[in-house]
Structure 1
């Protein structure tokens, strides 16, 4: 794998226009490139703003979802490179898996690596993983690992999923009242300014009736519900289902499992699932 060192945080203000004007891409091979950024530090003000938007308490330990914010710029850079086979617009974030091997502190310095792998068929097209790994500066041990799975819809899909089972929403533990501006608020702290999250008009241009919440915000807000009950080392596995159309009222359910917790988020007015996930000690 070719190693490409990136000096400083990628400029998202230039990457989004590049994504919008990316043109037509073709190919069936992911780039054999690993982007590496050294001397990564956390901005305490940004962390505090992230914690407030997502529902975490203020702390000098990072929520397990926060390093995704640090990795997001490198992910964008990788997926807007010329050799990347798919245009970024139209990609669907279908799942995310985060493993934290220990508590991560605000005052640490890190090396961040991002690469793509595992291009494979999906019933609606093709999917692949973008992996992000965080290591303490000067060390090789990975303390945090994120696997973001994306779907590229196209005619190569297998179409083999079969009929969908009609599900019934479980009795909720909590009701989330999600404001219309949560997409803009999360965009400010994350840098993810995809138009589908920002305003009803820009979302309609991409086929949505209103702006939709970021999947990573719903995942983070779900994780925040478990604060005080989490081990230092765990895996957070989430699968994104139907989008959360803003503003929204959503039903959140949790239950204990043999080795951790499971959770689901549903539309509170009709039995449409938004996400499902689990937290497992490692």
Structure 2
């Protein structure tokens, strides 16, 4: 794998670059055209980022975390998200970014990250993985402070396509019936989360923009649903913890969702889930385990 590419493009310009490969004719131009035969991985990085209190507090309040001198366990994903978009929109990545689905996310926090720390963030992508309903790619992010790895994540993105009947995919997470709070999600949740995270994917913003991409209504960000579940468990999480989730059905906005959790059978952490209120519709499965 070559040295990581420095990423400076963010916001609307990054989204535009991600969309261009899907545009007829334009998608075939040099510098935009995808290398459909690419199988080697590559890495991208961003300029060093100092954790700012105001930004962290806006994120914490929106996701339901208490305001503290350390960041919520999911917060570093905000720093990694522009790198994910850069990977998916890079010509070296063989599939167009539009239409990719974030199906799984695993976070390993090795210690809490304090307000004011300066972080280095790198994301790498490996070879394509056969999935029963298409092809998947794992994006691995490493966050370090003064040379110490403090946080890592693996985000798995799926491109639906040719089915692979011989492919297997782990399905180890446990469905927990709703037993905790119900979260009422307003129609503007996607826009409010985008303002904090910088993720302005049109499927999250309005019904009109979501319909243009094939959704009946706009949907909540998957990483917001993960964060909101963990905020409900926050005072029971270890400082060093791994959290795995699988995103199932999208959460259409507005809606109400019901949270459920219970201690893991081995006594190490919790299993949790998110369902549509009053329905069997499953939105998210998850688990926490102390490291």
Q: Deviations over 1:245-277 (max 9, x none)?
A: 111111110101121001010111320100010
Partner of 1:67: 76
* Distance of 2:179 and 2:143 partners within structure 1: 35
The alignment yields a C-alpha RMSD, in angstroms, of 2.0
For residue 242 of structure 1, report the CA deviation from its aligned partner. 0.3
For residue 5 of structure 1, report the CA deviation from its aligned partner. 4.5
* Distance of 1:21 and 1:180 partners within structure 2: 28
Normalised by the size of structure 2, how large is the TM-score? Answer: 0.89
The alignment status of 1:215 with 2:214, answered yes or no, reads: no
* Distance of 2:175 and 2:44 partners within structure 1: 43
* Distance of 2:221 and 2:12 partners within structure 1: 19
Q: Equivalent residue of 1:183, what SS?
A: helix
The alignment status of 1:184 with 2:191, answered yes or no, reads: yes
Q: Equivalent residue of 1:142, what SS?
A: strand
Partner of 2:284: 275
Q: 1:170 to 1:11 in 2, by over 3 A?
A: closer
* Distance of 2:176 and 2:268 partners within structure 1: 24
Partner of 1:11: 10
The alignment status of 1:78 with 2:87, answered yes or no, reads: yes
Partner of 1:39: 48
Q: 1:130 aligns with which of 119, 139, 145?
A: 139
Q: 1:216 to 1:171 in 2, by over 3 A?
A: closer
Q: 1:82 to 1:168 in 2, by over 3 A?
A: closer
* Distance of 2:175 and 2:67 partners within structure 1: 36
Q: Equivalent residue of 2:279, what SS?
A: coil
Q: How does 1:84-233 map to 2 (within 5 A)?
A: 84-137=93-146, 139=147, 141-158=148-165, 170-233=177-240
* Distance of 1:30 and 1:61 partners within structure 2: 38
For residue 26 of structure 1, report the CA deviation from its aligned partner. 5.3
Q: Equivalent residue of 1:226, what SS?
A: helix
Q: 1:168 to 1:60 in 2, by over 3 A?
A: closer
Q: Equivalent residue of 1:143, what SS?
A: strand
Maintained 8 Å contact 2:175/2:285: no
* 5+ long unaligned stretches in structure 2: 28-33, 169-173
* Distance of 1:50 and 1:146 partners within structure 2: 18
Q: 1:273 to 1:159 in 2, by over 3 A?
A: farther
Partner of 1:2: 2
* 5+ long unaligned stretches in structure 1: 162-166
Partner of 1:245: 252
Q: 1:109 to 1:30 in 2, by over 3 A?
A: farther
Q: Deviations over 1:55-79 (max 9, x none)?
A: 1111110111100000111121122
Maintained 8 Å contact 1:124/1:157: yes
* Distance of 1:37 and 1:192 partners within structure 2: 16
For residue 219 of structure 1, report the CA deviation from its aligned partner. 0.2
Normalised by the size of structure 1, how large is the TM-score? Answer: 0.91
* Distance of 2:70 and 2:82 partners within structure 1: 22
Q: Deviations over 1:139-168 (max 9, x none)?
A: 1x321001000001112543878xxxxx99
Maintained 8 Å contact 2:176/2:272: no
